[in-house]
Amino acid sequence: MTEVLAVANQKGGVAKTTTVHSLGAAAAEAGQRTLVVDLDPQACLTFSLGFDPDRLERSLHDVFVRRAPVAEVRRQVPGVPGLDLLPATIDLAGSEVHLLTRTGREHVLARALQPVAADYDLVLIDCPPSLGVLTINGLTAADAVLIPLQCEALSHRGVGQLLETIEDVRAFANAGLAIRGVIATMYDDRTKHARHVLAEVEERYGIPVLQPPVRKSIRFAEAPARGKSILQHAPGSPGAAAYRALARHLIDTRVASGTGS
């Protein structure tokens, strides 16, 4: 069964896009048919996967304005068998205005994905760093949420606000929306502070912290410019190993629980 995971945190710079890219590549590497969805008008995921957003003729915006179905817009990611992308362009910023005029606007992405859901084992949605209508669409389409969290001062302050939004989505659009857990990004285990941030999130909000944490590495900054994931750019690095382990955990727990759409 297909599982749809929204990767969300309204704070920018917490490695949402890196997490979607790396988990998507790791899942495909493990034999899972995977679709990654770029829901951010900045189109960073699209760029990091080797596509030029300015040269794409079609994007998720065309899906939202009913010009094309997902099946005609998705693109196969070069060099990563089993991984497809539903790309974004800057036009997606205009989709927010369009969606506000639509009846059932929070369900538009969910409905658009339904015809292709059977093509995939896993769908990962890269939500924008906000709690607007695009993110609401991502949460409504998802079975569960992953929360990347940078382990630094003040980085977890927005978690409570995100959880309030998740509760709202559960109330009016997606009652079954679950939280799979927090992924610690840019982690430095040499500091007590990083460990304290994670412990506080788990204690205060009752959200599981998935293991292993993803440690800081310059390899993550190098990979997107080459249109590659950390798994392709530095396959033997600790960062690649961490995302492989996290992807395996997600796959194993999905299979064990039978979750998915």
Q: Where are the domains of the chain?
A: 3-257
Q: Residue 164 has what pLDDT?
A: 92
Q: What is the pTM of this model?
A: 0.94
Residue 28's SS3 state is helix
Measured CA to CA in angstroms, residue 89 lies from 53, 95, 190, 235 at distances of 5, 11, 39, 29
Q: Are strands 75-76 and 83-86 parallel, antiparallel or unpaired?
A: antiparallel
* Per-residue confidence band for 187, with pLDDT thresholds at 50, 70 and 90: confident
Instruction: Report the side by side order of strands in the sheet with 209-210.
Output: 75-76, 83-86, 34-38, 122-126, 3-7, 144-150, 178-185, 209-210
* Per-residue confidence band for 40, with pLDDT thresholds at 50, 70 and 90: very high
For residues 108 and 64, give the distance between their C-alpha atoms in angstroms, rounded to a whole number: 7
> Mean pLDDT throughout 214-228?
83
Q: What's the CA dihedral at 208, 46, 33, 214 to 10 degrees?
A: -30
* Per-residue confidence band for 189, with pLDDT thresholds at 50, 70 and 90: confident
> Mean pLDDT throughout 33-37?
98
Structure tokens at 99: 């969606």
Yes or no: is domain 3-257 CATH 3.40.50.300?
A: yes
